[in-house]
Amino acid sequence: MKKNVLFSVGAILLSTACGSAGSHEAEEPGLAQERAALYGDITRVTGDVPCPSGYVMASPEDAQAYQGAACGNLASWDIARLSGSGAMRGPGYGCNISSFEANPLGHTLCKDPSTMTFLRATGDSPCGPGKTLLTAQEASARRSEVCAKLASWDIARLEDGGTMKGPGYGCTISTWDTQGVGHALCKSLN
């Protein structure tokens, strides 16, 4: 009996203590979609739930086509639901994509089929066609809106070598930062 109790307590401790150390774990379902979608169309929602209004579940094909962007929106050990019962695993798992996953999952990758004004993109300056980096002045003028697009510990590139740090750093903006960064804040040219 003592072994069973200790095993049960140990299993409970492991299940609560071994989750991702990222900031995403404390989010309520549906709040993560408020962050910018990578390349304008993929975002992460907490929980294995249907996507919020205005979003649709990303397909395995979407995740494959934008693998770096989609995976960059996941914490290291996330496994996110894709449409058709598919799944994408976070960077800790090598960003693998599967067409079928029977287990309930902790997250869902959703995409916004329309163009977004502000985007969170993976890499140091990957805005792509039709987009450009946000300036430090634009980020400063809309600080709370833009900062909400970043995860707690993100550091994102701005135009002319600046950066904006996520909420964990206090949403600070630097006009010049020479360090390599993991994200970029982009806007549509439209």
Quick: pLDDT tens for 37-64. Answer: 333 445 554 444 456 666 677 778 888 8
What proportion of the chain, given as a percentage, has pLDDT over 70? 59
Q: Pairing mode, if any, of strands 118-122 and 107-111? A: unpaired
Of 44, 77, 111, which marks where a domain is finished?
111
Domain boundary among 79, 111, 143: 111
Q: Quick one: average pLDDT of 18-43?
A: 38
CATH of the domain at 31: 3.10.40.10
Same domain, 77 and 123: no
Domain count, the chain: 2
Question: CA–CA separation, 131 vs 190, rounded Å?
Answer: 8
Q: Residues 32, 90: one domain?
A: yes
The full length of the chain comes to 190
**Could you tell me if residue 184 is inside a domain?**
yes
Return the number of other C-beta atoms located less than 10 Å from residue 186's C-beta.
30
- Report percent pLDDT > 90 for the chain: 17
Burial 53-67 (b: 16+ CB within 10 A, else e): eebebbbbebbeebe
Residue 146 belongs to some domain of the structure: yes
Q: What angle do CA 115, 119, 121 make, to 5 degrees?
A: 125
pLDDT of residue 26: 38
84 and 148 inside one domain: no
Kindly state whether residue 11 falls inside one of the protein's structural domains.
no
* Sign, Cα dihedral of 150, 145, 67, 45: positive
Q: Domain of 81?
A: 23-111
145 and 77 within one domain: no
Beta-strand relationship, 183-188 and 155-157: parallel
Residue 69 confidence (pLDDT) above 90: no
Residues 69, 123, single domain; the answer is no
In angstroms, the CA 22 to CA 4 distance is 32
If phi > 0 it is left, if psi is from -120 to 50 it is alpha, else beta; for residue 101 that is beta
* Residue 127 and residue 183 share a domain: yes
136's enclosing H/E stretch is helix 136-141
Both 27 and 104 in a single domain?
Answer: yes
Q: Are residues 101 and 43 in the same domain?
A: yes
Domain boundary among 91, 111, 131: 111
Average of per-residue pLDDT values in the chain: 68
Torsion sign over Cα 122, 38, 34, 83: negative
Same domain, 41 and 104: yes
Question: Does some domain include residue 4?
Answer: no
